[in-house]
Chain A
Amino acid sequence: GDSVTQMEGPVTLSEEAFLTINCTYTATGYPSLFWYVQYPGEGLQLLLKATKADDKGSNKGFEATYRKETTSFHLEKGSVQVSDSAVYFCALRGGGATNKLIFGTGTLLAVQP
């Protein structure tokens, strides 16, 4: 079945450092890919998405490119801030008439001043 694998955390960075969180997926067909962020005590917020191969999603300085050849959707940011500290989830939605999301295990990012 479909699945998402993302790098284990926690990831600890200093402010203004470069961030990469790896995400790879297994899916049949042509899934849509997402990054969600969860701040402490809150629900999930969509950070960015890509719906077809070679699409680049971007938002708030974060970027991820849908790479079908490597089945990857790595999250990057050039300069992190303390306010970026949160848990980041990679997810996929398969094709067909469903909104079902399959999530990775989440990666905790801690940014230190």
Chain B
Amino acid sequence: KAGVTQTPRYLIKTRGQQVTLSCSPISGHRSVSWYQQTPGQGLQFLFEYFSETQRNKGNFPGRFSGRQFSNSRSEMNVSTLELGDSALYLCASSPLAGSQETQYFGPGTRLLVL
């Protein structure tokens, strides 16, 4: 079974631009979560989707948004990019939400904002 895939793997943007990152969960998984990883703040939860509904949201500004499609694929969007948005963005999937299922992480998208 293929793992969680994230595209693109690397991205360079300039301040003020917007960016869309994509995550394809493991086949059959309906829950997708997103995390931001930076050297200063560590791993921080962004949002969680289950069956196209946002179930939970972390403490990030409204510039960060996401969605999930009927095939469980998810996208996150960051508008008006700031230098501090440079990070590794990780996506994780699991079969269900709030269960004891294991979450499987993708390799991440490394975003650099110049």
Using a CB–CB cutoff of 8 Å, the interface residues on chain A facing chain B are 32, 36, 42-46, 49, 51, 89, 91, 96-106
Report the 8 A-B pairs with minimum CB-CB distance, sorted nearest first: A97-B98, A103-B43, A43-B105, A44-B105, A43-B107, A98-B56, A105-B42, A43-B108
Residues of A within 8 A of B44 (CB): 103
A106 to B88, CA, bound (A): 15
Residues of B within 8 A of A99 (CB): 31, 33, 48, 56, 92, 94, 97-98, 103
Instruction: Say yes or no: A49-B102 contact (C-beta < 8 A), given A100-B56, A103-B42.
Output: yes
B63 within 8 A of A: no
Q: Which of A43, A51, A97 contacts B55 (CB 8 A)?
A: A97
Q: Which B-chain residue is minimally distant from A95 (CB atoms)?
A: B98
CB distance from B114 to the nearest CB of A (A): 21
Contact status A96-B108, CB under 8 Å: no
B45 within 8 A of A: yes
Residues of A within 8 A of B103 (CB): 46, 99, 101
Instruction: Say yes or no: A51-B100 contact (C-beta < 8 A), given A43-B107, A44-B90, A98-B55.
Output: yes
Residues of A within 8 A of B43 (CB): 89, 91, 101, 103, 106
Contact status A43-B97, CB under 8 Å: no
A46 to B44, CA, bound (A): 17
Q: Which of A36, A42, A97 contacts B97 (CB 8 A)?
A: A97
Contact status A102-B45, CB under 8 Å: yes
A104 to B42, CA, bound (A): 8
Residues of A within 8 A of B105 (CB): 36, 43-45
A selection of 21 A-B contacts at a CB cut-off of 8 Å is A36-B105, A42-B107, A42-B108, A43-B90, A43-B105, A43-B106, A43-B107, A43-B108, A46-B103, A51-B100, A97-B55, A97-B97, A98-B55, A99-B56, A100-B33, A100-B56, A101-B35, A101-B43, A101-B45, A101-B103, A106-B43
B64 within 8 A of A: no
Kindly supply a per-residue 1/0 record for chain B positions 50-74, scoring 1 wherever the CB is within 8 Å of any chain A CB and 0 otherwise: 0000011010000000000000000
Q: Which B-chain residue is minimally distant from A32 (CB atoms)?
A: B100
